[in-house]
Amino acid sequence: MSSEQQSIKPTEKQQILQMFNLLPDVLFWIKDIHSQIEYANTVYLEQVGVKNLEQALGKTDYDFFPPHIAKQFITDDKKVMDGELITDRVELNSDQKGNIAWFLTSKRPIFDEQGNITGSYGITRHLEKNSQVLSDVQAINAPVNFIKENFKSDIKIQQLADVAHLSVSALERRFKKYLMKTPKQFINQTRLEHARRLLVETQLPISEVAYQSGFIEHSYFSKQFRLLFDEQPSEVRNQNQSMNMKV
């Protein structure tokens, strides 16, 4: 291969990446090993509110999203680079207007020629733009919305079944099919995600964070928090305080 042919390679790579700008409903990004943006398509840039790629290069999710959401994205990146694959995970998150919306996310690690992991890449799709997937997910929309609005209270599974006009067994089957977790697990995750947000964005005592997130027993809250996020509530609070001091 001539030197002239070799010089074409970067341009060819750029052309392939630019193909992702032709997918109007897909966010696509590439990050380095430190979760800093190396590339992002037009839809991603619009989502985070920047005008061009240059404004996003070298930035992390902390530059674009609320701290509790950014922390989850970067935690995901680390898990992916440790070998955990994320494939078509259905999740609730905020859209451009701050409204809660359904998304479908997949992430993978990036390897160099020696097989070393050098970063990660991923795609996220708005489910409301995907009619087939959305119609499936809408089967549990009512109980999910009920949980989002009432997670601080003592929610009974029968309540959710009644809201969905299903039997308890049918409700649990649908949650497992579309969210890959039981209703109880989804309730717990919703409470814990709210608790993490309070830990990052407020100075409330951890016991009060637990209470405002629907947990009565502090020890149970700490145990469940550790199981989901692989760290204690106090560690999240201390890390956030350290970051604020550096800023």
- Domain limits, the chain: 3-127, 133-246
Token code pair at residue 247: 């800023």
Task: Name the CATH topology of 133-246.
Answer: Arc Repressor Mutant, subunit A (1.10.10)
Is 187 exposed, middle or buried, given 0-12, 13-18 or 19+ CB atoms closer than 10 A? buried
Q: What angle do CA 86, 36, 19 make, to 5 degrees?
A: 65
**pLDDT at site 8:** 43
Cα–Cα distance between 50 and 44 in angstroms, integer? 9
3-127: what CATH class?
alpha beta
Cα–Cα distance between 230 and 232 in angstroms, integer? 7
Longest dimension (CA), the chain: 70
Closest to 68 measured CA to CA, from 196, 192, 205: 196
Per-residue confidence in pLDDT tens, the chain, 247 aa: 444 444 445 567 778 888 888 887 889 999 999 999 999 999 999 888 899 999 999 999 989 887 767 877 888 899 999 988 988 877 666 655 555 567 789 999 999 989 999 999 999 987 665 545 555 566 788 898 899 899 999 999 999 999 999 999 999 998 888 777 899 998 998 999 899 889 988 999 999 999 999 999 999 999 999 888 878 999 988 876 665 555 4
**pLDDT at site 4:** 42
Token code pair at residue 61: 């999710």
**pLDDT at site 140:** 82
* 0.85 exceeded by pTM: no
In sequence order, the 6+-apart residues with CB closer than 8 A to the CB of 71 are: 196, 200, 236
Token code pair at residue 140: 């549990």
Backbone angles phi, psi at 74, to 5 degrees: -70, -35
